[in-house]
């Protein structure tokens, strides 16, 4: 079939836009990530004198880096609509966030939609595959204190011990609030067949849009971070919120990401922007930790039930284009998540100005020494 002039122009424009976006992303990384590292090196004396202030500043810089990643998708028209519980109500309390995993773009989506959730972005810890350590963002995650988990049965027991030690060493000492976990242990397309075979063997529901979660990391997080006393409620007010600081992990936030037509966005699309503007839908449900069972078998059943509910949520979304209303209500309410373009431009400008400052400083030092 012959290609029309209009189609050729459209393809050419898309390729040019993708090339320019990629060049900007590379430049952004070349100035932002080294600047983050260099600022923190310069602030090492503060880390010794006032650790709390040091990690506060690190958290602010970390949030700005995540906002830069969010801006790549935001300016390409990849926006977010949120459903379900309002997680801002627990943004100052400790929570574990359980997320379904479809593609590399899931992380970028979370980086975007959590930007307006108070302090959680700068105070959150991520659990991610160890391969992420070797990406351009790996050095940032290492400094921030995220945990890289190695997949595979032969590594499982050792990794859970390392996770427990990591949480005890870094979570409270760096004043972390939320911890993000993908319990499925991999992308949907890679784990679906194995999960369905396991479900059939163990008389569990047949799932198409999610896979059955793994127990290990969730169990370690709950066992390590949950205080023995009972917790409050999201609507408990300022008194409960202040008291919750000493109560350990308070909430489980069950997060479900849905893409139109079940076509997830990967990191390449996020960077290059060659897909048409897309609205990603994110659904939240908040559960008090005191309602989550501690025994392994009961916890496994509880986790399975959450992902069976995710399957129902996603089935309804793919059939109707919306998530179902909460039980007892007739209509589901959605909220458009927004970012300030002025703020995004400001932090991008700060990154490039910082890069220029460090370059001039090193040039000056070089000339002074040589």
Instruction: Evaluate if residue 233 carries a pLDDT over 80.
Output: no
Instruction: Evaluate if residue 331 carries a pLDDT over 90.
Output: no
d(CA 35, CA 187): 32
Is residue 145 within 8 A of residue 125, CB to CB? The reply is yes
* Summary mean pLDDT of the chain: 89
In this prediction, residue 236 carries a pLDDT of 39
If one looks up domain 78-227+247-344 in CATH, what number appears? 3.40.1130
In this prediction, residue 1 carries a pLDDT of 54
What is 54-100 written as a DSSP string? Answer: HHHHHHHHHHHHHHHHHHHHHTTTEEEEEEES-GGGGTTS-EEEEE-
In this prediction, residue 228 carries a pLDDT of 66
What's the distance, Cα to Cα, between the start and end of the chain in Å? 64
d(CA 140, CA 154): 28
- Band (pLDDT 50/70/90 cuts) for residue 30 is very high
In this prediction, residue 2 carries a pLDDT of 61
Query: Buried (b) or exposed (e) across 113-141, using 16+ Cβ within 10 A?
Result: bbbebebbbbbbbbbbeeebeeeebbebb
Question: How far is the CA of 99 from the CAs of 29, 96, 154, 277, in angstroms?
Answer: 27, 10, 24, 23
- Band (pLDDT 50/70/90 cuts) for residue 232 is very low
In this prediction, residue 142 carries a pLDDT of 94
Instruction: Evaluate if residue 239 carries a pLDDT over 70.
Output: no
How does strand 251-258 pair with strand 278-288?
antiparallel
d(CA 49, CA 45): 6
d(CA 333, CA 275): 27
Instruction: Evaluate if residue 292 carries a pLDDT over 50.
Output: yes
CA atoms within 13 A on the CB side of 300: 8
pLDDT single digits (tens) 195-210 = 999 899 988 899 999 9
What is 325-366 written as a DSSP string? Answer: PPTT-S---EEEE---HHHHHHHHHHHHHHHHHHHHHHHHHH
In this prediction, residue 243 carries a pLDDT of 40
Closest CA to 209 of 282, 310, 141: 310
Q: pTM above the 0.85 mark?
A: yes
How many helices (H) and strands (E) would you count in the chain?
A: 12, 8
- Band (pLDDT 50/70/90 cuts) for residue 230 is very low
Domain ranges of the chain: 78-227+247-344
Closest CA to 20 of 223, 274, 286, 195: 274
Angle formed at CA 271 by CA 268 and CA 272, multiple of 5 degrees: 80
Is residue 178 within 8 A of residue 144, CB to CB? The reply is no
289-316 average pLDDT score:
94
pLDDT single digits (tens) 88-118 = 999 999 999 999 999 999 999 999 999 989 8
Dump strand ranges (E) for 157-277: 178-181, 251-258
In this prediction, residue 278 carries a pLDDT of 94
d(CA 35, CA 26): 14
In this prediction, residue 5 carries a pLDDT of 77
């Amino acid at each position: 079939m012959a290609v029309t002039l209009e189609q050729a122009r459209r393809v050419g424009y898309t390729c040019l836009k993708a090339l320019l976006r990629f060049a900007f992303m590379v430049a952004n990384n070349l100035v932002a990530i080294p600047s983050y590292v260099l600022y923190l090196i310069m602030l090492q004396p503060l880390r010794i004198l006032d650790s709390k202030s040091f990690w506060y500043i690190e958290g602010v810089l970390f949030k700005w880096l995540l906002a830069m990643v969010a801006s790549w998708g935001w300016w390409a028209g990849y926006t977010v609509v949120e459903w379900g519980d309002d997680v801002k109500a627990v943004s100052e309390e400790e929570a574990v966030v359980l997320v379904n995993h479809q593609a590399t773009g899931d992380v970028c989506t979370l980086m975007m939609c959590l930007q307006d959730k108070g302090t959680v972005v700068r105070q959150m810890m991520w659990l991610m595959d160890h391969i992420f350590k070797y990406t351009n963002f790996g050095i940032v995650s290492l400094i921030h204190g995220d945990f890289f988990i190695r997949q595979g049965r032969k590594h499982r027991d050792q990794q859970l011990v390392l996770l427990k030690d990591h949480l005890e060493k870094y979570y409270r000492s760096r004043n972390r609030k939320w911890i993000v976990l993908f319990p499925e242990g991999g992308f949907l397309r890679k784990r679906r067949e194995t999960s369905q075979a396991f479900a059939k063997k163990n008389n569990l529901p047949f799932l198409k849009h999610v896979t059955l979660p793994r127990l290990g990391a969730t169990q370690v997080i709950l066992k390590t971070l949950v205080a023995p006393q009972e917790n409050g409620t999201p609507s408990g007010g300022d008194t409960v919120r202040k008291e919750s600081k000493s109560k350990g992990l308070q909430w489980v936030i069950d997060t479900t990401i849905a893409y139109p037509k079940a076509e997830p966005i990967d990191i390449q699309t996020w960077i290059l922007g060659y897909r048409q503007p897309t609205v990603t839908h994110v659904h939240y449900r908040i559960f008090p930790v005191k309602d989550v069972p501690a025994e392994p078998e009961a916890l496994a059943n509880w986790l399975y039930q959450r992902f069976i509910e995710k399957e129902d949520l996603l089935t309804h979304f793919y059939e109707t284009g919306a998530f179902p209303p909460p039980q007892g209500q007739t209509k589901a309410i959605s909220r458009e998540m927004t970012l300030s373009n002025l703020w995004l431009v400001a932090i991008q400008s700060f990154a490039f100005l910082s890069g220029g400052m460090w370059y001039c400083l090193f040039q000056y030092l070089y000339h002074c020494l040589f």
